Structure 1
């Protein structure tokens, strides 16, 4: 086994995976709370950003598990990670903020 193929033996991989999972669960919880609080102002329109944020949070959660498995030694991923997980979190957060701003403006 060469140095490039040696798995990480430290705890940083676990901490990173857990932080991504906490972030995804926080996004899901925050979107559910936002939907509950803005339901009276926007009605069924609130379900659209809630559904999108739920899908993105689930994807980030599953992506973090795939990253952990890859970095822990299986090296099962053939592609680079890129920046899609942070970008999707930014999109979901922006969407939720826009929904809350619409509820405050219209309510």
Structure 2
């Protein structure tokens, strides 16, 4: 069996693309839930939307920076994957609370 040479850029690229898809999904879900719950919840929905969009932008930029770092285009820095995963979970929980408030007020 002949071993094929492994491209060192593939795995970091897949990871960066996965985080970028997660950021895009977070942004879309935040906008949709904010739009649907604004009439029942009010300004709290705008706050959650603003925080979610800001977080999605940070995750998107960090994923791109991580990819450039892993491929040697940028100096190495620590990438806080656990922090982003925790913030992503908190944003999903905040969106769930908004939906729950919307259902309870209807």
Which bin holds the TM-score, normalised by the shorter protein? 0.7 to 0.9
> Is the contact made by 1:63 and 1:85 (CA closer than 8 Å) also made in structure 2?
no
The correspondence of residues 54-69 of structure 1 with structure 2, limited to 5 A, is 54-69=53-68
Work out the CA distance in 1 between the residues paired with 2:30 and 2:82.
22
Change (3 A) 1:38 1:55: same
Work out the CA distance in 2 between the residues paired with 1:31 and 1:101.
14
TM-score by length of 1: 0.83
Aligned to 2:4: none
The correspondence of residues 1-107 of structure 1 with structure 2, limited to 5 A, is 9-74=8-73, 76-107=75-106
Change (3 A) 1:77 1:49: same
Change (3 A) 1:44 1:81: closer
Question: Where do 5+ consecutive residues of structure 1 fail to align?
Answer: 1-7
**TM-fit CA distance, 1:44:** 2.5
